[in-house]
Amino acid sequence: MAEITCREALNQAMHEEMARDDRIFILGEDVGLYEGSFKVTKGLLARFGDRRVVDTPISEAGIVGLACGAAMIGLRPIAELMTVNFSIVAMDQIMNHVAVARYMFGGRVKVPLVIRAPGGAGHQLGAQHSHSLEPIFLHCPGLRVIVPSVPADAKGLLKSAIRSDDPIMFLEHEGIYGVKGEVPDGDYTIPLGVADIKRPGGDVTLITLSRMVYVCLEAAKQLAAAGIEAEVVDLRGLNPLDMVTVLDSVRKTRRAITVEESWLTGGWGGEVAARIMEEAFDSLDAPVLRVGCADVPMPYNKKLEKAAIPDVARVIARVREIV
């Protein structure tokens, strides 16, 4: 067991998987010589060469289209997009080709493609580099959506994603690349579509993922000092969506709040809240509440950006409404 950053955990996963399977290659803008915008691809070019670590032109549609074709003929590409906002430029490829090819060919082809994309706010990068677009990809059948929060999950989930025969959006938060945590030694994977209880509690369930896991854990710590025990459920992804873990927790605590960094209107929290109301209504002692990003393009101004993003105080205030 070693303590490393999320960035190092992701890097380890790619090093190990590329050494294990020579069909795996990575492509994207500045993934080779520059070693990635966030240095997640550090050392890959030096180790595996420029046939397996490919610096591409600035064309997200081209990156994803090339990766999709390579996956369909038996390779296992990892496509890195410099920011998740740029995935919108490649949305035709992602939604009309990557996600549906296996269905349109009756299962005769697979698309074992991982698209890695950093996102999230908090660094004053403006409205074109700062959003959390998980709900867009949730609304795309055929596409897996995986979102890690801690280093151990980042490594184990990425290795599972690379080995999967399904196309996967692997969404990383820029704000947690430097967060450290213990990661098991040796080869290990984490099953896709299995949530994790990051903190047990009996009074309210906080359902979250990505950087908001840390916000919820701090909120739970402060609530505990006031005698309120919050259970923090890290979904670790949205497709597959582990409602079994969510519902088990909600039936125990009888209260639920979703906490997401994506926009509140149309966010994934609304889907989870609806599922709870449909499948565990009789267990609830209060309405399911939601916390999410303000419905505005992400401001560049530091104070306005901070005001738009969910924080500990906002989570605590919502908890106090129902506990």
Instruction: Give the model confidence (pLDDT) of 193-210 as tens digits.
Output: 999 999 999 999 999 999
The domains of the chain, with CATH numbers, are 2-183 (3.40.50.970), 196-322 (3.40.50.920)
Residue 294's pLDDT is 96
The stretch 170-181 carries a mean pLDDT of 97
**Residue found under tokens 């499948």:** 279
Catalytic residue among 17, 35, 129, 131: 129
Q: What is the DSSP letter of 126?
A: -
Length of the chain: 323
Q: Quick check: 185 pLDDT over 90?
A: no
pLDDT tens for each residue of 251-290: 999 999 999 999 999 999 999 999 999 999 999 999 999 9
Neighbours of 118 (CB within 10 A): 22
CA distances for 193 relative to 9, 16, 64, angstroms: 19, 22, 24
Residue 306's pLDDT is 95
The stretch 111-133 carries a mean pLDDT of 94
Q: Which two tokens stand for residue 102?
A: 């296996």
Grade residue 103 by pLDDT with cuts at 50, 70 and 90.
very high
pTM of the model: 0.97
**Distance in angstroms (rounded) separating the CA atoms of residues 128 and 125:** 7
Q: Which two tokens stand for residue 17?
A: 């998987």
pLDDT tens for each residue of 207-239: 999 999 999 999 999 999 999 999 999 999 999
Q: Quick check: 318 pLDDT over 90?
A: yes
Distance, C-alpha 281 to centroid of its chain:
28
The stretch 129-157 carries a mean pLDDT of 97
Q: Quick check: 1 pLDDT over 90?
A: no
- Environment class of 110 (CB within 10 Å of its CB; exposed 0-12, middle 13-18, buried 19+): middle
60 among known catalytic residues: yes
Q: Quick check: 166 pLDDT over 90?
A: yes
**Residue found under tokens 């739970």:** 220
Q: Which two tokens stand for residue 300?
A: 């560049």
Catalytic residue among 29, 35, 60, 134: 60
- Give the chain's mean pLDDT: 97
Residues 6+ positions from 210 with CB-CB distance below 8 Å: 120, 132, 134, 147, 148, 149, 171, 173, 176, 261
Question: pLDDT over 90 for what percent of the chain?
Answer: 98
218 among known catalytic residues: no
